[in-house]
Each structure stands twice: as C-alpha cells, then as structure tokens.
Chains A and B, each alone.
Chain A
C-alpha cells in the first residue's frame, strides 16, 4: 500500500510544473484537444447535430408517407436544388430519394448520433471522472478517435451530393441489392463505415484500458458506479463486434470497386452489362452484418441504462436495489448479445434448426434484461423521489423501454416473426427502445451532468415542458405503428402502403389489401412526428440559454451525489482532481442512518462529516 500511495502522490508535483506552461491556444484547447472532457463535448455537440439531421430526414419521409406524391411544403424546391432531381423532383420526394433518406436516417441515427452520444460523449466525459482518473489512458488516441469520427461523418454527408445519390439499400446494406444500385454513394457509405468503425475501435480500446488501469486507489470493481460497468461492457461489444462488419465492409467494397463476387451469387443479372464471376453468398453479408448489428443494439441501450441507474440512485436517495445483480446481468447481456444475431434472419431460408438455436438464445437474453429493468423499478420502492427533469426522463424511460422490450418477444419467436417480419411492428418495437428509451436517457444525462460541465443549471420549467411534450408525441408516433404492422404494412413502402390499399370492391377477385384505417394512420403519425420535432425547440433554447444565463450552481455537487465526478471543481480543470482520490466506499451510499447529510461521497472516510 505504501508503494501505491507514493505513486499517487508523485503526479501532484508534476502538476505544479504544468501550471507554469502558457495557456494553450484556441486550436489546442478546443479543436485538437487531448483532454477527455473536451473530446467528450466535441463528440456530444457533433452527435446532437447528427441527431437533428437524422430527424429532419425522417420528418421529410413522413411527409411522403402521409401525403404521397405531394410536393414537400416550404423546403421542397430548396432541397431539390441541393440534392438534384434524382432525390427530389418538382419538390416531391422520389422513390430513390426516399430510399436515400431511409438508408441515411438509419445510418446517421445509429452510427453518427446515438453511439457517439451515448458511448463516446457521455463515456468520455464521465467515466474518467467517476473512476478518479486524471484522463483517459491514451489521450492522443482519444483525439484520433474523434477525428476519424468526423471524417466518417463528412464522407457520409458527401455521399448525398455524389452522382447517383447516397446509399439506398437501407442501413443494413444487404447485398446484392446494395451492390447493384447504380450509385457511387454506396462506396462512400462503405468508406464512411470503415472510418467510423476505426473510430469506435480506438475508443473502445481506450475505454477498456482506462477502466482497468486508471481506477483510483480503493476503487475496486464492485465499487464502480453502474454507469462505468455499462460503458465497460459496451466497449467490449464495440471492440469485438465491429471488426466483422469492417471485414464485411471491405468485402463489399471489393464487390463494388474490384469486381469480386463475395456477396453476388452465380447467375445474378446486374444492371450493368459486365459479367460477374459469381459464386458469392448473399447470406454471408447478412451474417457478418448482424454479427455486428445485434450487439450494436446493446451498444445503444447499455450506456442509457447506465445513465438511468445513476439518476435513479441519486433522485430516490437510496442505494440501487440489487447492484450486483445489475452488474452480472449487464455482463451476461454482453456475452449473450454475440450469439443472437441470426434472429434477424429467420426468413432468409437459413434453416429451421438454426432458427431454433437463435430463438432460444434470443429468449434467454431477455432474462438479464428483465433483471435490470426489475432492479430499477424496485429501486424506486420507498424512495423519497425528487421529480426534477432528469428524473422525469428516467421515470419515462422505464416503461417505454419495457414496451420496447416486451414487444420484441413476438419477433424473437421464429413463428410469430413470419407474420411481423419487416412490418411497421418492427419499426415501432426498436424505436420504442431507442427513441423514448435511449434518447430519453440521453436527455436525462444532459440535464443531469449539465451543471458539472457548465457550472449552471438548465431551466426546470422548460425542461419539464420538453419532457411532457416529448413523451406524449413519442407515443402518438410509435403506438399506432404496432397496429399498422400487425395489419401487415410493410416497412419500406415509399407511398405509405397506398399501393396495397384495399380494393374498392373486393368481390370481383381483387386482392384484399390493407384497410384504409391503417393507411390513414400515417397522417396522424406524421403530424405527431413533426410536433415531436417542434417539442425539441424548448430543449435547444434551454440548452444554449443556460450555458450563459442559467442559474449558477451553489456547490460542486448540486444534486448531492455520491460519485466522484461531483468531487471535482466545476467545471473540472485539465487533470480533473485537485487532490488524488482515494476511495473508501461503494457508489450509492445514500440515506445512511446517523450521518449529518443523507449521502456519503465515495472518497469520504468517516461516516459522519
């Protein structure tokens, strides 16, 4: 022990040396920074911009779904000029344009918005603080990770204006469809993906090394805040699941530019006249893709669960119920998420035996998920809950994620999936997990950690308004989609399924199509989606207003929290902590009897202050 305390004291002397250096200039400080907090903020701001862009894309698509063939009001002509006739002609979204927007909505939301925000932004800012570390283990790799991310984002955005338009084969980019669409946008998509994967890999290595190596003395594994555990497992998912997609991306890139046929079967008639050598396997792409993309789903949700756990403990003023169960469940999810991928492929003809295997693992993975949700619900029991804005978002997260999770069960069973596969039911299911689930948790995280970053609180009234409007419109958007999906509406229809409307007089041998009521739902959904967009305006204004004009915090620990990020100055300086941290207790010691305060920070030695 003596040796270790020497180690921790040594850096303090170095700190004084640093103070004599000149203040770094603007570029050093904000653009090419190696400080984990600045990088976290860079990730956060960039990802929020992409989140908005992803939403705008789908808002435009919703116009086409609600009013097929009608020109987009206000923006139609302007967008037509930018994106060209191929995407928007005479102010109307074309089928190709719809496919472009659809593919890029998914890609942007998953790879450029949610993962960077949930993992890279929150993880970068909060994890080193919560474990008592001065920075990430590899600050320069951390910077490179952000730069690769930006580069990947730029490549993706550029693909909108290349000849042929952006990728049009969905975020899943199934071959051979993706390779046969005549656009160089797909090549951009693949290169962009390789860059984003590189960024994620660098980030993941950094996170794991940081959490293993830089925990402050006394910060044992079972004293880690649950948020850190969630990020730890997430980093492993990214580390091990992304490389197969990188391999798949390289192979599809070869198909695209080097004329190979990895995913192109013999006898495929391509749109171009050139002959392909054939012999490839379309199924192979799906296996490689979903090997990433299923763990990716957990990459989207686990950091959100981490945020939720922190805020629940803080605002119920109680220790988390079943901390160890939570930890083991999150590890279990991490492991199981690698062996469920083919439940996305029940209808590919890969065989019923394989389907049965993946059905079994899929249903098993719901067990740790339910344990986590149960622990969180039980944590509320008997708590003196403070209903502030972050807590409201968290309280909404629980049932919303519950709906998303439970509606996943019929998709996990291969028989019921036959009916529901590729319908709006699937859309509703995963959006319930990601939109009112993950995004609500992210909003909660922003409201919760905002005072640490800026030294000012966000406005409670506008925060609550933002919350209630978002909650209401989220549900009006996604709830009807379950009904549409069960009625059989396919998820990729450009005209909102008008083509498949019920025949006027079904008697004369016409195919019985979708009843009008399900098609008309599109209008209500679209209006709610736009309203949801408008409901974000209070947030945006509140965010920027509070940076400069919000109520200043009265202490470094405005929420009376126990974890270490609140034991730093506000905002934390480069190097984070004023004095070396030594940890004496678990992460959630709230409402201990006998103390003066109802909480004990992790670095506090005595029970009484």
Chain B
C-alpha cells in the first residue's frame, strides 16, 4: 500500500502530508528562536545600567539594512519561482530560483565580512590603565599594532566594559580586510593563547600619540610587555556579542541549510519536474515556506540586534 496524501491534499484537512509537516517543523523553530529571543530579553534586562551597547555602536546599520533587503528580495524571488511552476513555466522558475540562491549567498558573504570585522577588532588594556580600541593592523611576538583610538575611561576598566563609548567601531571595512584578514582569522581561534603571551616581551615602544584623544583613527604600536589584557570582539567579549553571534550564527546556519535544499531542487532535484510535476511543485512550496521563515527570523533579528 502506498502512503495516501503525499501529493494530493486530504479533503477534510485541505493539506498534503509534507505541508503539515513543514508547518509543524516551523512551529518547533518558532519555539527555538523564541527561547533565544527570550534569552536576549532576559540578559538585556538583567544587564547593569549602561553596559548594553547603544544602537549603532557595535554593528554597522547600513550593512545590516542592505542584508535585510537582500533577504526580502530573496523572499520575493522564491515566491515567483513557485508561482512560475504553478503557471507551468519551468524556465522562469529556474531563473527566479537562481536569483534566490544568489541572494542567499550574497547574504552569507556580507555576514561573513561583518563577522570578520568583529574578529579583527581588539580592545587592549595597558598596564598604565589606558584602553586602546581598534582594528588589528599587524602583530608579532613583541608588538601589537592597532588602528583606532584611546577610550576615555574612568577608574578600573575591565574588558567588555562600556562598549557604547567606543569611538572606533564604524570604520572603513575594505581597509581593515587588507590590513590583516587572515591573521585575524587565526587570532580569533587562538584568542586564549594571546592572553598567555600577554606581557611576556620586555621591550618596544608606542608610536601613537595618546594625547590626541578619541575620534581620530591612528595607528598604535603597543609593546606586549605593556599590555595587561587584550581581546577581540568574539562571542567571549561580552554578553551582547555572545547573543549576537549565537543568534546570527544559528540564523546563518538556517540560511545555509535552506540554500542547500533550494540549490538541490534547482539543480539535480529539478528532474522530478518532468516526471512528477505536481509533487515537484509541492517540494518548491515546502522549501519556500522554510525560506520565508528564515527571512522572518531575520526581520526580527535586524531591529533587535542592530536598531534597538
């Protein structure tokens, strides 16, 4: 016996099997992201006054906006692709779905540049109490060169304190990646070992001008012996970055997974159109529903992480 309602809807529910399956799956996804958003709220409400970064200080809003538009556009193309199949226009489907896949990849590429920007952004606390914040230009066993500014800090400063006062976060991205992309990548993984080396080296001097104050971007060459503590803007840096990386990372995994499925149905999987067109159209509808959900999550993530 074959399983009923795999393609044709069941009359009393009006749904075919996999459509009900995907809605149930999305319900569980809502609970998954719901729990993470709740976590965000609880952490933010529980954060001491003034420690949660102000909007625009940590992330680049224009880039986030562009990425939002990219995903919204992909939502449009995915619907048009499905509609094309319904209208029996397979070539148009191929075209629109190719657009969806390209937009998904664009989103991921932009996201990875944003991530890289965070991993190459350092905060250094010197033994004399000055705090320098900026992008890594280069580093060796004796020196760390940052391009950024000195933070105005009162009293004892700990890494991750008052991130909303940082002047040096929004910054020419192209330039940074030339500066030390690869190196910074390694550094992100070896964040802990950087700690270990801190203060091991004995000499070196600082070429930047501490007196110039915040706002200007300058290169600071800092001797490792003068460093008390340093860390990059990874998830370990503070609670905001922790939830930022977790939420966007999980979302990016969903984007990637969706793109793989849509890519399969665009490429080898599309053969089914010639044998079982109705079933294939259903598959496109299912993958489209998932894709809309992924977009919708971002529609919530963008204001929550970038704007609020």
Q: Which residues of A are interface residues toward B (Cβ below 8 A)?
A: 3-4, 7-8, 10-12, 14-15, 133-139, 141, 201, 204-206, 208-209, 212-214, 239-244, 246-248, 250-251, 254, 258-262, 274-281, 284, 287-288, 291, 575-577, 580
Given contacts A137-B21, A247-B32, contact A254 B2 (CB under 8 A): no
Contact of A214 with B35 in the complex, beta carbons under 8 Å: no
Q: In the complex, are the beta carbons of A274 and B195 less than 8 A apart?
A: yes
Interface centre among A133, A240, A576, A577 (most CB of B within 10 A): A240
Question: Would you call A280 and B239 a contact (CB within 8 A)?
Answer: yes
A134-B3, A213-B15, A277-B237 are known contacts. Are A262 and B31 too (CB-CB below 8 A)? no
Please state if A239 and B238 are interface contacts (CB–CB under 8 Å): no
Contact A205 B2 (CB under 8 A): no
For residue A583, give the distance in angstroms from its CB to the closest CB of chain B: 14
Q: Which of A134, A137, A277, A284 contacts B42 (CB 8 A)?
A: A284
Contact with A along B178-194 (1 / 0, CB 8 A): 00000000000001100
Find out whether the CB atom of A261 lies under 8 angstroms from the CB atom of B242.
yes
Given the complex of chains A and B, what is the CA–CA distance between A214 and B195 in angstroms? 60
- Min CB distance B1 to A, Å, is 4
* Interface segment, one of B43-51, B103-111, B202-210, B275-283: B43-51
**When A254-B235, A288-B35, A577-B1 are in contact, do A260 and B25 touch as well, CB less than 8 Å?**
no
CB pair B1 A213 closer than 8 Å: no
Please tell me which one of the listed residues B25, B33, B46, B229 contacts residue A205 in the complex, with CB atoms under 8 A apart. B25
Chain A residue with the shortest CB-CB distance to B37: A247
Contact status B195-A212, CB under 8 Å: no
> Does B34 belong to the interface (CB within 8 Å)?
yes
Q: Is the CB–CB distance between B246 and A260 below 8 Å?
A: yes
Give 3 closest A-B pairs by Cβ, nearest first. A259-B236, A244-B35, A134-B1
Q: What distance in Å separates the Cβ of B6 from its nearest Cβ neighbour in chain A?
A: 8
On chain B, the residues within 8 Å of A250 by CB distance are 36, 246, 250
Q: Are A262 and B28 in contact (CB under 8 A)?
A: no
What chain A residues lie within 8 Å of B192 (beta carbons)?
A: 259, 274
Q: In the complex, which of the residues A205, A241, A242, A247 contacts B21, with contact meaning CB atoms closer than 8 Å?
A: A205
The reply to whether A14 and B239 contact each other, CB–CB distance below 8 Å, is no
- Let me know if B234 is at the binding interface, CB within 8 A: yes
Bound Cα distance from A572 to B130, whole angstroms: 77
Q: Which residue of A lies closest to B29 (CB)?
A: A243
- Decide: B4 and A7 in contact? CB cutoff 8 A: yes
**Contact size range, B:** 35 or more
Judge whether B5 is part of the interface by a CB distance below 8 angstroms.
Answer: yes
B39 in the interface (beta carbon within 8 A): yes
- Find out whether the CB atom of A214 lies under 8 angstroms from the CB atom of B43: no
With A209-B21, A209-B24, A244-B31 in contact, do A277 and B238 touch (Cβ < 8 Å)?
yes
B46 adjacent to A201 (CB under 8 Å): no
New A-B pairs, 5, CB < 8 Å, besides A133-B4, A134-B4 = A205-B24, A214-B5, A259-B192, A261-B236, A279-B47
Chain B residues engaging chain A, CB cutoff 8 angstroms: 1-5, 8, 10-11, 13, 15, 17-18, 20-21, 24-25, 27-29, 31-36, 39, 42-43, 46-48, 51, 159-160, 191-192, 195, 229, 234-239, 242-243, 245-246, 250
| 9 pairs from A and B in contact (CB 8 Å cutoff) | A134-B2, A138-B21, A243-B28, A243-B34, A258-B234, A277-B237, A279-B46, A284-B39, A287-B42
Which residue on chain B has the smallest CB distance to residue A208? B24
B234 proximity list for chain A (CB < 8 A): 258-259
CB–CB A258/B1 < 8 A: no
Q: Which residue of A lies closest to B9 (CB)?
A: A213
Complex interface: chain A residues within 8 A of B246 (CB): 250-251, 254, 260, 262
- Point out the residue from B10, B229, B245 that lies within 8 Å of A213, measured CB to CB: B10
Residues of B within 8 A of A4 (CB): 11
CB distance from A153 to the nearest CB of B (A): 21
| Residue of chain B at shortest CB distance from A265 | B46
A280 to B, closest residue via Cβ: B239
User: Nearest chain A CB to B45's CB is how many angstroms away?
Assistant: 10
The reply to whether B27 and A239 form a contact with Cβ atoms under 8 Å apart is yes
With a cutoff of 8 Å between Cβ atoms, the chain A residues found around residue B43 in the complex are 262, 279-281, 284
Chain A proximity of B24: nearest CB distance (Å): 5
Q: Out of A8, A133, A247, name the residue touching B35 (CB < 8 Å).
A: A247
Contacts of A254 in B (CB 8 A): 235, 242, 245-246
Q: Give min CB distance, A344 to chain B, whole Å.
A: 17
Q: By the criterion CB–CB under 8 Å, are B3 and A214 in contact?
A: yes
Bound-state CA distance A205–B286 (Å) is 14
Q: Contacts A12-B1, A138-B17, A254-B235 known; A281 to B46 CB distance under 8 Å?
A: yes
**Inside 8 A of B24's CB, which chain A residues have their CB?**
204-205, 208-209, 239
Selected from A12, A204, A246, the residue in CB contact (under 8 A) with B32 is A246
* Complex Cα–Cα for A258 and B115 (A): 15
> Which chain B residues lie closer than 8 Å to A291 at the CB level?
35
Taking CB atoms, residues of chain B closer than 8 Å to A261 are: 236, 239, 242
| Residues in chain A near residue B191, CB distance under 8 A | 259
Interchain CB contact under 8 A, B28 and A205? yes
In the complex, chain B residues whose CB is within 8 Å of the CB of A276: 236
User: Is the beta-carbon distance between B28 and A242 smaller than 8 angstroms?
Assistant: yes
B155 to chain A minimum Cβ distance, whole angstroms, is: 16
A276 (CB) vs chain B CBs: closest residue: B236
Closest to A266 in B: B48
Asked if A279 and B51 sit within 8 Å, CB to CB, the answer is: yes
| A576/B1 in contact, CB under 8 A | yes
Decide yes or no: A14 and B35 within 8 Å by CB, A240-B28, A243-B28 being known contacts. no
For A17, give the chain B residue with the smallest CB separation.
Answer: B2
Q: Is the CB of B235 within 8 A of A135?
A: no
Using Cβ atoms and an 8 Å threshold, which residues of chain B touch A279? 43, 46-48, 51, 238-239
Partner of A262, one of B8, B195, B229, B242: B242
Task: Report chain B residues within 8 Å CB of A201.
Answer: 25, 28
How distant is the Cα of A141 from the Cα of B21 in the complex, in angstroms? 11
Q: Which of B8, B13, B191, B242 has the most CB of A within 10 A?
A: B242
Whether B36 contacts A247 by the Cβ 8 Å rule is yes
Measured CB to CB, the nearest residue on chain B to A1 is B11
Whether A3 and B11, one on each chain, are in contact in the complex, defined by CB atoms closer than 8 angstroms, is yes
Q: Which residues of B contact A242 (CB under 8 A)?
A: 28, 31
Closest CB-CB distance, B305 to chain A, in whole Å? 15
Q: Which of B28, B33, B42 has the most CB of A within 10 A?
A: B28
Please give me the residue from chain B that is nearest to A12 by CB atom: B1
Give chain A residues whose Cβ lies under 8 Å from the Cβ of B36.
247, 250-251
Q: Which residues of B contact A241 (CB under 8 A)?
A: 31
Residues of A near B17 (CB, < 8 A) are 137-138, 209, 213-214
B1: which of A3, A240, A575 is its contact (CB, 8 Å)? A575
Q: Which residues of B contact A137 (CB under 8 A)?
A: 3, 5, 17, 20-21
Q: In the assembly, what is the distance between CA of A277 and CA of B237, in Å?
A: 6
- Pick the residue among B3, B18, B242 that contacts A139 (CB under 8 A): B3
Closest approach, in angstroms, between the C-beta of A283 and any C-beta of chain B? 8
Contacts of B11 in A (CB 8 A): 3-4
CA distance A214 to B32 in the complex (A): 28
Given contacts A250-B250, A254-B246, contact A15 B35 (CB under 8 A): no
Closest CB in chain B relative to A453 CB, distance in Å: 19
> Nearest Cβ distance between residue B177 and chain A, in whole angstroms?
23
